[in-house]
Amino acid sequence: YVVDKGNHRHFMTKEIHEQPDVVGRTLSHYLDLPNGRARPPEGIDFSAVDRLALTACGTAFYAGSIGRYWFERIARLAVDIDVASEFRYREPPLSPGTLALVISQSGETADTLASLRHVRQAGARVAAVVNVRESTIAREADLVLPTLAGPEIGVASTKAFTAQLAVLAATAVAAGRARGVLPAEEEVKLVRALSEVPRLMTEALRLEPQIETIAREIARVKDVLYLGRGTSYPLALEGALKLKEISYIHAEGYAAGELKHGPIALIDETMPVVVIAPYDGLFEKTVSNMQEVAARGGRIILITDRRGRAAADVGAVETIVMPDMPAAITPLVYAIPVQLLAYHTAVLMGTDVDQPRNLAKSVTVE
Ligand code: G6P
């Protein structure tokens, strides 16, 4: 595997553009695409699992937070999720049917490793979604679900994030089947939808020139709000994290429905609000939140699809129109514009995009 920037200005943009390949490779490892089935992960009997306890840090935590929706919806499996640094302090009771799942790109993050050791000591089995196969977390876990992202150099995680999402989605499908709650035709539909992700990501990457223009507006402000509902909510949190990590602009992600419980007080004519809202079952609810923003002069940057654009007459100042896709896979593909927006803003701010100040690729202290 060659670790250089190729024709790219930064590792981060190279890694963003690698995502169709990386996700395609990871999905073909977990899915039997021709037959529309998920391959059952070796060493996990999901019919004997009654609870998943997810822990991770940073971007991996947001991948897990999206995975939670999939495991609950597709596999009807109860999921707890914590940031790794808090998990132990909560002292959660672990039932014999609890499977712990830690998620880490590097496999070396101290907090995540500590949570792994904590649950193993309590007697639970631990599966690890990791990118670095030789890492400590990969060695200490009972079983490993690898992400096939290749080395990630940019401190701000991009391709490892979508590879984690690919593993979590595929594993949720396998779990749904093992638990007898996912009819075969639904499994085929989900696998087909996942197999479309690389092509849809390539289409989303073509929106880069428009996103670069929008970044000029973001680069002028001090604060940005990101809103989403359902799986778009953790993606909003990830969008805000990406932006603050590399551009040093303050950003916050909120569940769209929480807007009225506080952050709405911040909205004025200077405030950009990035709304992640594919046209899905939750769309209409998010439209009413956008109306609340628009009524206060907030500058809405809407990431949606054609149907969403047609349906949302709320005066977004910018609309990023994504390709149409099934609702189950939107977080994988909508990650692209979210990452590109942070990247181009940071480039305009002149920060050290691949090595942002005060951050480390892998944090080995608690
Ligand atoms: C650091 C990095 C983040 C990353 C987090 C977790 O804070 O800057 O990009 O998401 O660690 O890292 P891991 O290797 O465990 O996924």
Residue 40: CB atoms within 10 A of its CB come to 15
Mutation choice for ligand 1 from 66, 101, 106, CB with most ligand atoms inside 8 A: 106
Mutation choice for ligand 1 from 11, 103, 105, CB with most ligand atoms inside 8 A: 105
**250: helix, strand or coil:** strand
Distance between CA atoms of 63 and 130, rounded to whole angstroms? 12
Look up the ipTM and state it.
0.96
User: What is the tens place of the pLDDT at every residue in 117-145?
Assistant: 999 999 999 999 999 999 999 999 999 99
Give helix 159-178 / helix 184-195 axis angle, nearest 10°.
170
Question: In this predicted structure, what is the pLDDT of residue 90?
Answer: 86
Strands 31-32, 37-38: pairing is: antiparallel
Q: Give the Å distances, CA to CA, from 133 to 54, 129, 139.
A: 19, 10, 8
DSSP state of 41: P
| Nearest protein CA to atom 2 of ligand 1, as residue | 361
Q: Which of 2, 96, 82 is nearest to 51 (CA)?
A: 96
Angle at 67 between CA 291 and CA 241, to 5 degrees: 60
Atom of ligand 1 nearest to the CA of 106: 14
Distance 28 CA to ligand 1 centre (A): 25
Distance 209 CA to ligand 1 centre (A): 28
Question: In this predicted structure, what is the pLDDT of residue 2?
Answer: 61
Residues with CB under 6 A from ligand 1: 57-60, 104-106, 109, 112, 155-157, 359, 361-363
Question: In this predicted structure, what is the pLDDT of residue 210?
Answer: 98
Helices (H), the chain: 11-17, 19-30, 58-75, 84-90, 110-121, 136-140, 159-178, 184-195, 197-205, 208-218, 232-247, 283-295, 306-311, 330-349
Q: Which residues contact 208 (CB under 8 A, 6 or more apart)?
A: 340, 344
What stretches in the chain show pLDDT beneath 50? Answer: none
Radius of gyration of the CA atoms of the chain, in A? 20
Model pTM? 0.97
Question: In this predicted structure, what is the pLDDT of residue 189?
Answer: 98
Q: Helix, strand, coil: what percent of the chain each, to 5?
A: 50, 15, 35
Residue 19: CB atoms within 10 A of its CB come to 28
Question: In this predicted structure, what is the pLDDT of residue 68?
Answer: 98
Residue 116: CB atoms within 10 A of its CB come to 28
Atom of ligand 1 nearest to the CA of 109: 15
**Which tokens is 160 given?**
């490892």
Burial class (CB in 10 A: 0-12, 13-18, 19+), 291: middle
Distance between CA atoms of 160 and 150, rounded to whole angstroms? 8
Q: Which of 159, 222, 242, 361 is catalytic?
A: 361
Q: Give the Å distances, CA to CA, from 30 to 27, 46, 173, 185.
A: 5, 15, 10, 18
Question: In this predicted structure, what is the pLDDT of residue 1?
Answer: 60
In the annotation, is 361 catalytic?
Answer: yes
Question: In this predicted structure, what is the pLDDT of residue 3?
Answer: 79
Mutation choice for ligand 1 from 59, 113, 241, CB with most ligand atoms inside 8 A: 59
Distance 17 CA to ligand 1 centre (A): 20
Question: In this predicted structure, what is the pLDDT of residue 38?
Answer: 97
Burial class (CB in 10 A: 0-12, 13-18, 19+), 269: exposed
Strand partners, 167: none
